[in-house]
Amino acid sequence: MKFEYSAVVVVDSSTASALQSQARIFVNQNFTSGKSVIQMDDTISHTIIGNGNFDVHVKALGGTYAGGHVDFQFKLEFRNGKFRYTFSRFEHSGDLSYKYSGGLLTSEKPACGTFNMIKKQWREIKMETDSKTKHLIDGLTVFLKNHPAADTF
């Protein structure tokens, strides 16, 4: 699995400003604190850069348990009639409930070693990350296509 997702999506009859405005709404609705997620929101270059994360789970002893979280970066670039998304730099970190950190998901083995996190758990974290990222991208694409914003009201 490669952990960089990027594509250009055509959104007919939308200005770059309108798409960027709608993307801000999407981020605010889909992240716990949209304001702290967005690191840069440039209305001149029509670019939003941010950092997000989501929880992941691991299976052990016949059950499914909290498995830390995965941090990632995203970049959204807007032009009249289209936008480009890029999601990258996925990194697994442990937390209070799961103390082992796998590190960058592009690594074959977890940074904490396969004694602390078996290969199957590492693979499951990667698969869950892939699924959640694709779900987020699908949601963004549908939202921007179905919620065209006018520059004025």
Q: Which residue ranges make up each domain of the chain?
A: 5-146
Q: What is the pLDDT of residues 45-65, one digit of tens each?
A: 999 999 999 999 888 778 888
Alpha helices in the chain (DSSP H): 16-30, 34-37, 119-146
Residue 12: other Cβ atoms inside 10 A: 8
Quote helix, strand, coil % in the chain, to nearest 5: 30, 35, 35
How high is the pLDDT of residue 34?
56
**Residue 144: DSSP 8-state:** H
Identify the bridge partners of residue 8 per DSSP, sorted by sequence position.
Answer: 84
What was the pLDDT predicted at 50? 95
pLDDT at 130 over 90: yes
Look at residue 129 and tell me whether its pLDDT is greater than 60. yes
Least confident span in 32-41, 72-81, 95-104, 131-140: 32-41
Q: What would the mean pLDDT of 113-133 be, rounded to a whole number?
A: 93
Tell me: pLDDT of 26 over 50: yes
Mean pLDDT for 6-33 is 92
CB 50 within 8 Å of CB 66? no
Rounded to whole angstroms, the Cα distance separating 67 from 2 reads: 21
Give me the mean pLDDT over the 102-113 stretch. 93
Percentage of the chain modeled with pLDDT above 90: 70
Which is nearest to 54 in space by CA: 40, 67, 36? 67
Instruction: Please provide the average confidence, as pLDDT, over all residues in the chain.
Output: 90
C-alpha closest to that of 13 among 149, 153, 139, 138 = 149
Looking at residue 67, its pLDDT comes to: 84
CATH number of 5-146: 3.30.530.80
pTM: predicted TM-score of the whole model, two decimal places:
0.89
